[in-house]
Structure 1
Amino acid sequence: MKPLVALAFAAVLAGCSAQYRNHGYAPMEGDLEQVLVGVDTRETVASVVGRPTSAGLLESGGWYYVESRWRQFAWKAPVEIDREVVAISFDGDGVVENVERFGLEEGNVVVLSRRVTDTNIKGVSFLRQLFGNFGNFAADQFLGDG
């Protein structure tokens, strides 16, 4: 009887542990270091870090890579605990102008790294939209459980 109770207790305990899921993709810093500002083009960036999923919508502007981390604990709804955005902007000739990484710290957007030739951050309203919805999504919107 004791092994059965111990097994049931272990199953309940395992069911109550937090589960983490990652959604999206943001290139690693080592990959971004290979992207040279003022030298690389859209094609060379695509070969180094890949194309973002939103490239079709944003072909004339920058490329945005978005990665989110979700935590689900027991029966509670999943909660987004982290979001990171990598923005690579291009000039009119398709040459890399800026490479920037943004994250969240205590609910505020912070720059994690930046290599720029132009101090004017393009697409700020798009970044605000990406971060403005932080925590406002339910996982079933992405998983199709609705």
Structure 2
Amino acid sequence: MPNSILLRPAPRARLVVLGLAVALTVSGCAQLKGRQGYVVDPLLTEAITPGVDNRESVEKTLGRPTFVGQFSNNEYYYVSRETRQLAFAKPRPVDQQVLRVRFDPAGNVAAVDRTGLELVSRLSPEGDKTPTLGRQRSFFEDIFGNIGAVGAPGAGAPGQ
């Protein structure tokens, strides 16, 4: 009888072990939230109006853009993205807002465009190989394919 009492854990110790097990289980299934880019303030973004604002007033109201247009500096982009991720899975976009402010050559706001999550594309690579155009060559063609081609007429030999 005395041995069975020593082997049985105390009720308090059982609760501690159970609590730790539940905490570890729940923490592994935690959902992580992420925010990237510009922090959108709807009041400020709605205040930008074509024909009234210019480049300087937009920068004072919204701050520096996330990036400027690639081919000309007449477009400002303010990008904001919110993601969610379950434990160790890949993050997936939940919300995205892109505010594009276009300027005319004089530097005045010409247009303000807003887009959201509808333009996000999902790319899924095709396994571990990239499909390419061209002919399919066998192992031996890869190894022995250039024999006789070096110095042959029409193969880029010197003296042609």
Which band: TM-score by shorter chain? 0.5 to 0.7
Equivalent in the alignment of 1:88:
101
Mapped to 1, the partners of 2:73 and 2:49 lie a distance apart of: 20
Unaligned runs of 5+ in 1: 110-130, 138-146
Partner of 2:91: 78
1:1-146 to 2 correspondences below 5 Å: 1-25=14-38, 27-55=40-68, 57=70, 60-104=73-117, 108-109=118-119, 131=120, 134-136=121-123
**More RCO (CA 8 Å, sep 6+):** 1
In 1, Cα distance between equivalents of 2:56 and 2:42: 19
Query: What root-mean-square deviation, in Å, do the aligned CA atoms of Structure 1 and Structure 2 show?
Result: 2.2
**Percent identical:** 32
Change in 2 beyond 3 A, CA 1:56/1:62: closer
Residues 81 and 135 of structure 1 are in contact (CA less than 8 Å); yes or no, is this contact kept in structure 2?
Answer: no
Q: Per the alignment, in what secondary structure is the counterpart of residue 18 of structure 2?
A: helix
Residue 136 and residue 68 in structure 1: after superposition, are their counterparts in 2 closer, same or farther (change >3 A)?
farther
Q: Which runs of 5+ in 2 are unaligned?
A: 1-13, 125-160
Aligned residues: 111
Does the CA contact (< 8 Å) of 2:69 and 2:75 recur in 1? Answer: no
Q: CA deviation at 1:78?
A: 1.8
TM-score (norm 2): 0.60
Aligned partner of residue 47 in structure 2, secondary structure: coil
Secondary structure in structure 2 of the residue aligned to 1:33: helix
**Which residue number corresponds to residue 139 of structure 2?**
none
In the alignment, the residues of structure 1 paired with residue 86 and residue 73 of structure 2 have an alpha-carbon distance, to the nearest angstrom, of 41
Amino acid in structure 1 at the alignment position of 2:15:
K
- TM-score for the superposition, normalised by structure 1: 0.65
1:32, 1:80 → 2: CA distance? 22
Once the two structures are superposed, residues 4-36 of structure 1 have per-residue CA deviations (whole angstroms, 9 ceiling, x without a partner) of: 211221232122021110111153220022223
